[in-house]
Amino acid sequence: MNFIKAVAIAISAVIACGAAEAKMPKEVNIVYVKAPFNLQNMVIKDQKLLEKAFAKDGVKVNWKTITSGAQQSQAMAAGSVDVSAVMNTASLLLANGAGNPVQIATGVAHPSENFAIVVKSGSIKSIKDLKGKRVAGPRGTVLQQLLLAALAKNGMKATDAQFISMGIPESLAAVTSGRVDAALLAASAVVKAEESGCRVLTTAKGLVDVNLVMTARKGFADESPEALATIVKVNRESLKWIKSHWKEAIAIGAKEQGISVSQAETLARRSHYYDVLTQTDIKGLEADQKFLVESGLMAHPVNVKSLILPGAMK
């Protein structure tokens, strides 16, 4: 594949500019996140692009699967994870608010339309009907933020719905089986829920500006900047390739997610992929932090600009 060769050449050029002083780690521990529909990450892993980029320096790439942003940040705090290919900014803010320094390396997507509150019961026709109902979803994530924002918009309190902390796969199983009344789901999980007879009550669009970013623990960013730059470079090159090889990329994503090509294309078009953050993203981070603090999820606000590594901004 020409793309692989192109990325390898680009990475070699970047690394060569200072290879004399370059200090690469022996291994890199990176979280693989394919949900909601993170096409860059799926392409990178499928084509072993990081392994190829690091081969010349003998750096081993260890992929870890952790779907919850909160658990990703906990793994970073423990030092078992260096980089998360995809983390939502709610989890990023909560981690830093708790004293766990996690930084943004580059942007990934703005997929607000791929995050949703899903119900099965026909008696639940609006957000107000969630009063007293059981809602399953991952705690400390943008999905929980979506629930709180939806309740607040309808004049309700967080305690008006009974939130049950579950991962996305467990939440999907719980709502389709009727063990809970609603679930907080994303992308292919929403598609699968609809196929099982559920329906979308609302998406995050207009409620939460979902921003997915690549993050790194501060220690890794400080100690291994060349390695992090390599990972960011591969991620950005993969996005360029996706845009010019759309059908091939969609096929990779569809296979990895276990959905049809048509469903994969819908999710991809709703994802609004990007790479470099702008001032709009900073304003979004500030708005998210304000909401998280006011909702009682985040105790200590932080300087959001300090969370963004220099290479992540325009």
- The per-residue DSSP string of 5-28 comes to HHHHHHHHHHHHTTTTT----SEE
Instruction: Say what the pLDDT of residue 19 is.
Output: 42
Task: Please report the domains of the chain, with CATH numbers, ordered by start residue.
Answer: 2-111+210-312 (3.40.190.10), 113-203 (3.40.190.10)
Instruction: Say what the pLDDT of residue 153 is.
Output: 96
Instruction: Say what the pLDDT of residue 139 is.
Output: 87
Instruction: Say what the pLDDT of residue 27 is.
Output: 98
Pairing of strands 27-31, 83-88: parallel
Cis peptide before 225 (omega within 30 of 0): no
Instruction: Say what the pLDDT of residue 201 is.
Output: 98
> Is the Cβ–Cβ distance between 183 and 175 less than 8 Å?
yes
Instruction: Say what the pLDDT of residue 314 is.
Output: 77
Where do we find the tokens 């766990």?
A: 100
Pick out the chain residues at pLDDT < 50: 15, 17-20
What are the residues whose beta carbons fall under 8 Å from the beta carbon of 24, sequence distance 6 or more?
54, 57, 58, 59, 224, 226, 227
